[in-house]
Amino acid sequence: MARKFGIFLTIFCILLTSCHADWNILNEQRTSSGLKISLKNFCESWRMNVELHNIRNYQAVPQECIAYIGKYMTSTQYQVDSERTISECILHLTTNCILEKDGKDSWIFDIDDTLLSSVPYYKKNGFGGNKPNETALEDWMSQGKGTALKHSLKLFNHLKELGVQIFLVSSRKEHLRSATVDNLVHVGFYGWKELILRSQEDECKNVQKFKAEARNKIISKGYRIVGIIGDQWSSIVGLPSAKRSFKLPNPMYYIA
C-alpha cells in the first residue's frame, strides 16, 4: 500500500513539475528575481512595457500572451484607455492656447489602429501572435473593412469644428489610396487637408523616417503641428516634432 502510494506520489510529482513549465495549466511562474507571478501579471507587464517603448522591434506577441492580448483588444479596458487618450488631446487643445486660427494650425493622424481599427483582421489572424503577413494584411485593407475608432472620430470632428487642418500620414502604400479613402469616408472620416501615403521611393525607408519627412514637408508649407496621434512610436518620435504627441494603445504589432 505504502509502496503504491509512493509510486503514485512520484508520478504526481513528475506531472506537477512538467505542468509547472506550462503557463496555461498551472498559471504561475517566477520572474528572474524569484517573484511568484501569474500569467496575467506576466502579460500585463509585457503590454505595459510595450506601451512605454521599453520593449521594441518585436516580431509577434509572445505565444503565451496571445489570449491575453486578444482579450485586451476586445475589452472595455481598451475602449477606456483609448477614450482617455482622446480626452487628453481635447484638453491639450482647449487649455494650452495653442491655436492661432489663421488656417495654419494642423494636426496629424496615423490611420491604422488610430482612425481605422484593424482588430477585425487580427481577430482572424492570431491577435498579433503570427508573424506579420503583408500580403494578407494588404488584401484585407483593400477590402475597406476597417471600423472607426469612435473616440478618434470624436477628436477628428472636434478639430474640424476648431478649423484645424487635418493631415493623415500613414505607412500604407500608394496602391491602397482609393481603398483607404473609401474606407475612411464610409465610416465617417472626411474633410482632411491631405492624405500622405508611402510612395515607392519611401518604401526603402523605415516608417519613422518617412513620417518625420512628412512632418517636415507639412511644416515647410507653413503649417504648425499642434498635435500628433498614433498607435505606434514610429508615428510620433523623431524630428521635427509636434507641440504634443499622443500615443494610443496597441500591443498587437510593432512598426519601426
Binding residues for ligand NAG (CB under 6 A): 133, 135-136, 139
Residue 206 CB, nearest approach to ligand NAG (Å): 22
For the bound state, the minimum distance from the C-beta of residue 143 to ligand NAG, rounded and expressed in Å, comes to: 12
The three grid cell numbers given for residue 214, joined into one nine-digit string: 512628412
**Least spacing, CB of residue 135 vs ligand NAG, in Å:** 4
- The answer to whether the beta carbons of residues 159 and 166 sit under 8 Å apart is yes
CB of 43 to ligand NAG, least distance (A): 25
Buried b (16+ CB within 10 A) or exposed e, 92-115: ebeeeeeeeeeeebbbbbbbbbbb
DSSP-derived pairing of the beta strands 147-148 and 36-37: unpaired
**By the 8 A CB rule, do 89 and 246 touch?**
yes
Could you give the CA distance from residue 171 to residue 206 in angstroms, rounded to a whole number?
9
Q: Between 142 and 245, name the residue whose CB sits nearer to ligand NAG.
A: 142
Strands 29-30 and 36-37: antiparallel
Q: Which residue has the cell 472595455?
A: 76
Closer by beta carbon to ligand NAG, 62 or else 132: 132
CB of 187 to ligand NAG, least distance (A): 24
State the cell numbers at 246: 499622443
Distance CA 120, CA 130 (A): 15
Rounded to a whole number of angstroms, the minimum distance from the CB of residue 133 to ligand NAG is 4
Could you give the CA distance from residue 77 to residue 47 in angstroms, rounded to a whole number? 13
Of residues 54 and 135, the one with the C-beta less far from ligand NAG: 135
Cβ distance to ligand NAG smaller for residue 132 or 238: 132
Nearest residue (CB) to ligand NAG, 74 versus 125: 125
Q: Nearer Cβ to ligand NAG, position 4 or 131?
A: 131
